[in-house]
Structure 1
């Protein structure tokens, strides 16, 4: 069986893979030869990106950020270069909070052999730096891919919050991007209140589990509680993804 490609430890290697052609003979090298199924690609990526799903990979393909070949039966086949492009996209979303439009511009530039401004650093929209300071509403909306009305709806229905000056936390950008993606499928913020309710109940359950540790009120205890919460959150996310995928398989008759 063909070995599944392992996540590359080198950012430079990821960039080279994103270009899709390391030299004149690139089309004849294993790096660009389609050979991996979407399931194998998912396994390769999940080590660094636990939240990635098959649906996410398909969505990135639909946005023309990766171009796997198809077998005569219609199955996707990915190359090592394709996996590199996916890693580049996922890292840019997670670490730099870049919208897909900007990431696509970066990939197009890399394909042409051009340098990318701010590549490899904590960049933001259009290469501008994104720090930890709150973002004004318009900047947050642009980074998340939301319209002004969608952002207002997110606040109204409790999906996002703003401070007294109407600014939003950078850490909330993943929520905004998810809402924007769902909106493209016709799911509006008002339909997502069920997620907020579920999260509040889940957070309350996890809080009960670490409450005895927090009673000690020491820095060491709070550190232990933080580590425990992080582990619980990861397991909870895995449970949610597994249950949802299982239910969707039933919908598809699988």
Structure 2
């Protein structure tokens, strides 16, 4: 666990189970409190504990969870093999991931940096209040740490706000996007696919692109009237 400890000291803060779910369920829809506890029982992850016994997760824990869940979902590895990969990572060795090329393995193991709220503010120029409004509108994850892609999303929200389109105005768009996600999931299931399988992920991205093309056409025609 030396790698976890070192990263935790430089992390963006500690998260509760609820915040971890909020942060990761968009990527891993089958993640649940019981699954987190099961992975802990299996010794794959060891969150910190408060004096009251509550679990707290650092940025290093989040990266470890992502690795575990990715190895399960995309490489179908059993927990025994995942434990061996983690042992190599903890020991500073280059692990061998069955079924993955060296390039893919490097991509899987590369950390995906999380940002604290203050750092997100510094990188975008957004105020803490604006970030809070975006969170309240469901446009950013309700957490104290954020995925790196939130920089681009927050910059877009700031530019929209300059034109009078605030996060509050975008609640309906967020609801529509969630409905689109449900529609994509139903379409994949009807075709016998799973959204969390490699083919399902590829199919999801294709459907997202098609929906964006149709939505863009509707918007352009509407604005041309």
TM-score by length of 2: 0.43
TM-score by length of 1: 0.39
